[in-house]
Chains A and B, each alone.
Chain A
Amino acid sequence: MKIVSCDTIAAISTVIGEGGIGIVRISGPESFKIAEKIFRPKTKKKFNELKNRTLYLGNIVDSKNDIIDEVLLAIFKAPYTYTREDMVEINCHGGLTAQKRILGLVLDQGARMAEPGEFTKRAFLNGRIDLSQAEAVIDIIRAKTDKALSVANRQLTGSLSKKIKEIRSDLLNILAHIAANIDFPEEDIPEADSEFILKEITVAGERVKELLKGAGSGRILREGLSTLILGNTNVGKSSLLNALVKEERAIVTDIPGTTRDIIEEYIDIKGIPIKIIDTAGIRQTSDKVEKIGIERAMKHLKEAELVLLMIDISRKLTRDDKNLIELIRDKTAITVINKVDLPVEVNEDEIEQLVPTERIIRISALKHEGIEELKEAIFDTVTEKMGFSDEGLIAAGERQRKVLQEAHDFLDMAIDAMDIHMPIEMVELDIRDAWEKLGEITGDTVSEDIITTIFQKFCIGK
């Protein structure tokens, strides 16, 4: 984690789960410049004509000028602001996903993701907060930092950390080899082969890209928590999907590339973006066409982070139902009993004994009964099982994404540099920057590692 002041920072400053309106805050010398690039006010005024401390209605647009969200934006000129720096506040309506995209745009324009408690820290360091509050400020910052670290660490215990460590170790070997060639030119160490280096950094770049696609909560926030509605034909999957989508404003509609058999919808439950996948009914079949659809559904089941297992209480349980129950044994899942408005054909106790899920929710998808309870259950499951509960996580995820992106950019630069035959020590700078960036995620960027590796791998000495 690097500590730099005087640059421009940004963060989402509302807590997940607290309603639709959120604020993206920017603080620092570049605040206005950044906001100008992404804000299109409805008024005819130019950005530099906007009045201090006044709300302006307008749109946030991305680099292609596509509208992300309609917002209210206010600028606050230093020094009469919370941090005593130039600040911008963007009030957005479009739920967390929109806030996230806006934050992403702000970061892409050069702002840095704020460290935990950094707005408060700046407010204090710039003299905004009274001396008598110093200890309280320290407590806040320490608490936030420690919390963020523990969230980040929790995220890292899994395979992400392992993967990053593997990539770093490959890069470290290259760095040590190049460094050994540079520092000990008269030893009989073979020169690092440039084709080999190119191959290794290309592979490393691809692996970082893979991680970028699917890293931690950042990915969930970007792509939504993938939630699969699983159940036999005619159990009411589509009705449930419609009920959920109707209640919530759909953020994104059909994603291109989805097949006729699989429908994806995005909803926002208390700030958590959920990507709901409705599949073709899964059942034993010999029909060839249907088989393909089912295979695809099985693949989605494997990838799903949350499963809503639907059971029709108005029909007797079939072998297919029981098979499905077996399929979700290892998944995070909620059992949804549908059609409670119809005459009951299955004993609920029987279902309770059969299903492995903690939560069983009774609904009528058609009549929109029990939908709120279901959403409550989804939120609780996600927050409990995934520790997905506070701004620290968003920050950690967003920071991770940015760091991975930067590491990827450095590797790209290294590849470009090799393509145009730059001297190896220039290429090494790029590789080293990538290696150090990745280390920011695992919390480890010690150059002593390179030196140790040199002496382990190469026999050096007079």
Chain B
Amino acid sequence: MEYKVGKYDVAVVGIGHAGCEAALATARMGLKTVAFAINLDSIALMACNPSIGGPGKSNMVREIDALGGQMGINVDKTFIQMRMLNTKKGPAVRAIRAQLDKRAYSATMKHTVESQPNIDIVQEEVVKILVEGKKVTGVVTKTGGIYEAKAVILTTGVYLRGRIVIGDLSYSSGPSGLFPANELSKSLESLGFELGRFKTGTPPRIHKDSVDFSKMIIQPGDEKIFPFSYASGEIQREQIPCWLTYTNEKTHKIISENLHRAPLYTGEIKGAGPRYCPSVEMKIVNFKDKTSHQVFIEPEGIDTNEMYVQGLSTSLPVDVQIEMARSVKGLENVKIMRFGYAIEYDFVIPTQLKPTLEAKNVQGLYMAGQINGTSGYEEAAAQGLMAGINAALKIKEKEPLVLSRSDAYIGVMIDDLVTKGVIEPYRILTSRAEYRLLLRQDNADLRLMDTGHKIGLINDERYKKYMKKKKMIEDEIKRLESVKITPTAKTNETLEQLETAVLKSPSTLAELLKRPELNYEKLKVLDEHRKELPLEVIEQVEISTAYEGYIKRQIAQVEQFKKMENKKIPEDINFDEIYGLGFEAREKLKEIKPLSIGQASRISGVNPSDITVLMIYLEMRRRKSLHEEF
């Protein structure tokens, strides 16, 4: 029997990485929020590897942080190892990655969400979305509870009609032994959504005491810790190492001989899986010449003996998993505590969403995370935050927040999803970002904190601190540009010692800093009166001076890009009415409903002359409307 439970502004369905950010954002923006999870012990569960960050991903976590999201803060509270990646390359592609205490991460996030005013948390499975007209009105739970809501945010992860596959065994299930959500998909289908099916997988977890670490290579954390959140300040913490070992020809032989039992090759699994995260059997099949693959053994936390085996993701039968694992050096006597599995799940084709992550055909219904065909905790959290912000802005009748491809990796991801759709679980990559030199992980605050403050998720205290940093950077750059070094004998002697060309005419400190062989620290001998500045300030000064040419070039490209992005296409446009559009372009435009000429030009099948036609139509429309006003 159905019964009314209460009235809310926002209902969030699923409290994983996307759901947490969504619920926290709406609650912090002052809206009464209810959030549902099938099991409250699985809030912010890292169902796959206990790690957050990496190239592109750490940029996104910092963007979440600059917008007032929670992920970065939670990582900083619960990491057990931190590393800076790509240190041998330049600043634009540096990335941080953290190993986390899985239970602590989950518990700390749960505590944050349940302590947040304005959020009610309920352990319930949502089975139906209520819609009146074209507008969402609430959700119904399995027990019949009706929760009225002005906006609903779906963050269902891999739960929708989840099906686990191990060898020839398959059963209906959520991840990691949790219940699936088998009914909500039908509700979505009846609302007219087109669903797709993806596959992902996870490796076995093993007992620490059964591993011979003496045969493996230790992977310690960095001495200097760079936190994810701009709010965290300096952190010092004892870190726990990971371990590296390799598969060998024996491992590969065991896998090859059992391929007839691998569901990926028997046709048992139909959903597309991610190319960047293949199971070990796929690696062996696709890269036959490679005689060994890396295997990282990662701790799942401080108070647990479970360890994650990165590199052995598999859905082979359990007996093969044991044999295969034991063929790896150091794992000869390994005890598997949880077996690897593949999981298939429903997702909603994301081109059915607007760039605000609101559904095109149901007002007030938002989606974020794996339901949009993405993969990764960071990708999910970023979408959750944006869906939450936009749901709140809509209820408050304010302008939506859409980040562009030149603002943030988050903008790149969402634009890709809603404009191009997905062919595999989507992961952010630096190569997806045209303007990646500007979208660095070190400057996410400079890019986005104004926005975070404006929407009310960054408080005044944090904002003031940020403004101070910004001013220090600007002042120091100005100073470096104005201080002239004259070519005296002494100066040139110093320059020779620094192994750089001597000066013939006066040069500013900024010009010297542009030389690849010099840096801020080295220039100190020529710059005696400089103030002591925080490292994060020096970092910005160095990057923006040393790479000024490249940065300026990207800024110029962004300006061109923005011109097209700023040519808006009104929502009520009727593409059937436009004279001169090509057939394919017309169909695609009707499907994607781009918000700008720029977005339209990224749709495959829409060619330059279609764009011209579209612009002419918009101009006609503008003039007609002017005409009508008079």
- Residues in chain A within 8 A of chain B (CB atoms): 1-6, 115, 117, 121, 124-125, 127, 131, 134-135, 137-139, 141-142, 145-146, 175, 179, 181-188, 420-426, 429, 447, 450-451, 454-455, 459-462
With a cutoff of 8 Å between Cβ atoms, the chain A residues found around residue B55 in the complex are 182-185
Is there a chain A Cβ closer than 8 Å to B142's Cβ? Answer: no
Mask for B372-392, Cβ within 8 A of A = 1, else 0? 000000000000000000000
Is there a chain A Cβ closer than 8 Å to B210's Cβ? Answer: no
With a cutoff of 8 Å between Cβ atoms, the chain B residues found around residue A137 in the complex are 616
Closest to B619 in A: A125
Is there a chain A Cβ closer than 8 Å to B620's Cβ? Answer: yes
Is there a chain A Cβ closer than 8 Å to B92's Cβ? Answer: yes
Closest to A187 in B: B294
Please list 19 pairs of residues, one from A and one from B, whose beta carbons are closer than 8 Å in the complex, sorted by A's number. A5-B563, A121-B615, A124-B619, A131-B624, A137-B616, A138-B579, A138-B612, A138-B613, A141-B616, A142-B612, A145-B609, A182-B431, A183-B430, A183-B431, A185-B54, A426-B547, A447-B431, A460-B276, A461-B313
CB-based contact A422/B516 at 8 Å = yes
Asked, given contacts A145-B608, A429-B550, whether A188 binds B89 with beta carbons under 8 Å apart, the answer is no
Which of A139, A179, A459 has most chain B Cβ within 10 Å?
Answer: A459
Is there a chain A Cβ closer than 8 Å to B49's Cβ? Answer: yes
Cα distance A135–B577 when bound, in Å?
12
CB-based contact B86/A462 at 8 Å = no
- Residues in chain B within 8 A of chain A (CB atoms): 49, 54-56, 85-86, 89-93, 95, 203, 275-279, 282-283, 286-287, 290, 293-294, 296, 310-311, 313, 429-432, 434, 436-437, 516-517, 547, 550, 553-554, 560, 563-564, 579-580, 601, 608-609, 611-613, 615-617, 619-620, 623-624
The minimal Cβ–Cβ distance linking A298 to chain B, given in whole angstroms, is 45
The minimal Cβ–Cβ distance linking B578 to chain A, given in whole angstroms, is 9
With a cutoff of 8 Å between Cβ atoms, the chain B residues found around residue A181 in the complex are 89
Beyond known contacts A185-B54, A426-B547: 8 more, CB 8 A cutoff: A125-B615, A137-B616, A141-B609, A141-B613, A187-B294, A455-B276, A461-B279, A462-B49
Cα distance A223–B348 when bound, in Å?
57
Cα distance A424–B89 when bound, in Å?
6
From the candidates A131, A145, A179, A422, name the one contacting B430 in the complex (CB within 8 A): A179
Cα distance A451–B517 when bound, in Å?
33
The minimal Cβ–Cβ distance linking A410 to chain B, given in whole angstroms, is 10
With a cutoff of 8 Å between Cβ atoms, the chain B residues found around residue A451 in the complex are 429, 431-432
With a cutoff of 8 Å between Cβ atoms, the chain B residues found around residue A145 in the complex are 608-609, 612
Cα distance A420–B547 when bound, in Å?
12
Cα distance A134–B313 when bound, in Å?
59
Asked, given contacts A125-B616, A426-B90, A462-B296, whether A146 binds B431 with beta carbons under 8 Å apart, the answer is no
With a cutoff of 8 Å between Cβ atoms, the chain B residues found around residue A6 in the complex are 563
With a cutoff of 8 Å between Cβ atoms, the chain A residues found around residue B624 in the complex are 131
Cα distance A6–B567 when bound, in Å?
13
With a cutoff of 8 Å between Cβ atoms, the chain B residues found around residue A117 in the complex are 612
The minimal Cβ–Cβ distance linking A305 to chain B, given in whole angstroms, is 31
With a cutoff of 8 Å between Cβ atoms, the chain A residues found around residue B554 in the complex are 429
With a cutoff of 8 Å between Cβ atoms, the chain B residues found around residue A146 in the complex are 609
Cα distance A26–B49 when bound, in Å?
59
With a cutoff of 8 Å between Cβ atoms, the chain A residues found around residue B92 in the complex are 423, 425-426
CB-based contact A459/B287 at 8 Å = yes
Cα distance A60–B550 when bound, in Å?
34
CB-based contact B616/A4 at 8 Å = no
Closest to A7 in B: B560
Closest to A125 in B: B619
Cα distance A121–B618 when bound, in Å?
13
Cα distance A183–B59 when bound, in Å?
12
CB-based contact B564/A134 at 8 Å = no
With a cutoff of 8 Å between Cβ atoms, the chain A residues found around residue B431 in the complex are 175, 179, 182-183, 447, 450-451, 454
Asked, given contacts A138-B613, A461-B283, whether A425 binds B277 with beta carbons under 8 Å apart, the answer is no
CB-based contact A138/B89 at 8 Å = no
CB-based contact A131/B580 at 8 Å = no
With a cutoff of 8 Å between Cβ atoms, the chain B residues found around residue A188 in the complex are 293-294
Cα distance A186–B466 when bound, in Å?
32
Cα distance A124–B613 when bound, in Å?
11
CB-based contact A462/B310 at 8 Å = yes
Which of A1, A183, A460 has most chain B Cβ within 10 Å?
Answer: A183
Closest to A460 in B: B276
From the candidates A4, A185, A459, name the one contacting B563 in the complex (CB within 8 A): A4
The minimal Cβ–Cβ distance linking A302 to chain B, given in whole angstroms, is 39
With a cutoff of 8 Å between Cβ atoms, the chain B residues found around residue A462 in the complex are 49, 203, 277, 296, 310-311, 313
Asked, given contacts A3-B611, A125-B619, A461-B283, whether A182 binds B290 with beta carbons under 8 Å apart, the answer is no
CB-based contact A131/B620 at 8 Å = yes
CB-based contact A421/B620 at 8 Å = no
The 10 closest A-B pairs by CB, nearest first: A423-B90, A138-B580, A145-B609, A459-B287, A179-B431, A455-B275, A462-B310, A461-B278, A185-B85, A1-B608
Which of B85, B89, B286 has most chain A Cβ within 10 Å?
Answer: B89
With a cutoff of 8 Å between Cβ atoms, the chain B residues found around residue A459 in the complex are 283, 286-287, 290, 293
With a cutoff of 8 Å between Cβ atoms, the chain A residues found around residue B286 in the complex are 459
Asked, given contacts A135-B579, A422-B90, A429-B550, whether A121 binds B616 with beta carbons under 8 Å apart, the answer is yes
Asked, given contacts A183-B429, A426-B547, A461-B283, whether A142 binds B609 with beta carbons under 8 Å apart, the answer is yes
Asked, given contacts A3-B564, A425-B92, whether A139 binds B580 with beta carbons under 8 Å apart, the answer is yes
CB-based contact A423/B91 at 8 Å = yes
With a cutoff of 8 Å between Cβ atoms, the chain A residues found around residue B311 in the complex are 461-462
The minimal Cβ–Cβ distance linking B202 to chain A, given in whole angstroms, is 10
Cα distance A414–B318 when bound, in Å?
51
Cα distance A3–B615 when bound, in Å?
11
Cα distance A447–B279 when bound, in Å?
25
CB-based contact A426/B550 at 8 Å = yes
Asked, given contacts A186-B85, A188-B294, whether A420 binds B56 with beta carbons under 8 Å apart, the answer is no
Cα distance A426–B89 when bound, in Å?
10
Cα distance A394–B54 when bound, in Å?
49
With a cutoff of 8 Å between Cβ atoms, the chain A residues found around residue B49 in the complex are 462
The minimal Cβ–Cβ distance linking A362 to chain B, given in whole angstroms, is 48
CB-based contact B86/A185 at 8 Å = yes
With a cutoff of 8 Å between Cβ atoms, the chain B residues found around residue A454 in the complex are 431
With a cutoff of 8 Å between Cβ atoms, the chain B residues found around residue A121 in the complex are 612, 615-616
From the candidates A124, A184, A186, A187, name the one contacting B616 in the complex (CB within 8 A): A124
With a cutoff of 8 Å between Cβ atoms, the chain A residues found around residue B437 in the complex are 425-426, 429
The minimal Cβ–Cβ distance linking B594 to chain A, given in whole angstroms, is 14
Cα distance A139–B616 when bound, in Å?
11
With a cutoff of 8 Å between Cβ atoms, the chain A residues found around residue B579 in the complex are 134-135, 138
